[in-house]
Chain A
Amino acid sequence: MYPGTRNEVYFILITILKLAFKKIFVKMKKDQGGLLKGFPVAFDSAKNTSLHPDFLNELSRKFAGKLLTRHEILINDQMFQHLLSETLFQPIPSIQKSILSSPTCNRCNNTKKSLFALIPCTKCNEFHYYCRKCIMMGRVMECEPLYFWTGRSYPWPKLINPCSWTGTLTKAQENAAEKIVDAISEGKELLIWAVTGAGKTEMLFPGITKALEQGKRVCIATPRADVVRELLPRLQQAFSSVQIQGLFSGSRDNDGTAQLIISTTHQLYRYRRAFDVLIIDEIDAFPYHHDASLQFAADRAKKENAALIYLTATPRDRQQDLIASQKLNHVFVPIRFHGHSLPIPTMIHCTSGTKTLPPQFLSWIKNRIKRERQLLVFVPTIKLANDLKKSIAKLLFAENLIFRHSEIEHVHAEDKNREEKILNFRNKKIYTLITTTILERGVTFPSVDVAVLYAGHQVFDEAALVQISGRAGRSPQDPTGEVIFFHDGQTNAMVRAVKAIKQMNKRAEIFKKKKGESR
């Protein structure tokens, strides 16, 4: 026997072994196909995987519906490789290169060339593209794929009586709530156009209740972290037996594993086909309205046949067009929850420079009817908020409206103590709050008068002015409030805002007559 024969024998043996293994492997894959279709857990996972069913369950709760980078998956390398080999995770290239056009980021759908850059990669010793658009969510690099969970989805429980809210809805709210319930059970798209102070959040409760009872996963997304912070305690109160997580950049509880999630629209970058119901609050707000990638993320975060509910008080032209052409179902809620009409802004022409307070503002402060109301002053820029604080304080001291310097504060987007100041204002520890447009929406103070200084500035567009006016008269105890635009020349935005508010009040009157609601 010459040595070659032995080799041949080995070769044949190895081939046979390989074939046998392949057969087993294919069989395993088939089983996994069944797993994907959703066989009962205990049955299939015990059969083809070494992993404990409870552990698999835990994993699917954590990762089903997520699209994550390796850094965001807190599993050690060995276990992760194992999960990959069992095709429980599927890698997706994070950045798609193309020869003719600029690359595409598969996380945020960025295709703008200036928002990609090259970085020398220490692992691969070559230059790679990375996406600068979504870098605040952690960098995605060409050589690091995104991972999507392809194991079975998590069976969210069908909750029994999840809602602990005991209030009642007004007829206007009820009307909208019914439509929301219908949209959620049928998986449709619906826009709720409700005036400021209509009680949008409460209108959602029946719909959310229905969804949770059907074992659906719900996400309320909003462009602003402030709104998440405000909504979270209200929902926790209304659904006290349900685990709810609030996600925003820097939130404590941020693994996003709850059945009911409140999140900023930015956090939706981390989801893919996760939610049966996606509610987007304040769709017309910055930055969601301006940022196509956030809209892309929202679209990807919902399941294919999910219900999509939009909430807004000031729809933009685009949504108005969709409504007018009947491409988007909508409900209009023209009436505030306490039944009173919206305060109509007064425009006062001022004659002054940009550094000092207009004399018309001084005389308005002196002659205000209800002096016990707190004062919310909007200014267009951070610098003005700083500059005017002193002179406004001086005026208020002279009028005996405040007695301590701590009773007047100013806030803006970069203010670290912003939450604290807003809370103090709500608790009436602060009498006057000077703010930029960050407080234009989503916040409720019971009894305030609102002044807008330099209302002609371009940051005060129609939507902003309508929202700002909506801060006044929000409580049933004090349903009116003054709203004054101080300007040095009327802008279209101001005129259109006043017109829009008047129109909504008119529609409210018609609604009241039709429904015979007197409250």
Chain B
Amino acid sequence: MRSQFVITPAGIHFETPYAMNDDREHSQPRKLTMHKRTTKTTDGKRQLIFYTFETENPRLFKAGAGGGSSPAMDPPPPNPRLEKAGE
């Protein structure tokens, strides 16, 4: 089963509640850890970087209260201009 997101004017929402189900874990937004390896292009003349990624343990994450698109973390400070607009 693939989870889906619905984007509405109010934000992103999961169609299905977050669960630690193996199948669903693959379709949840998850933090990626990036690794890079610098080498050369085939002609040996120019820099080439391979970027690889691994998914961090999904149990370190939980869905945000309002949307579920974010890993667990402190929310960013609001934009005061949008605060004035009622956002």
- Do these two chains really belong together in a complex? no
Write the residues of chain A forming the contact surface with B, with a CB cutoff of 8 angstroms: none
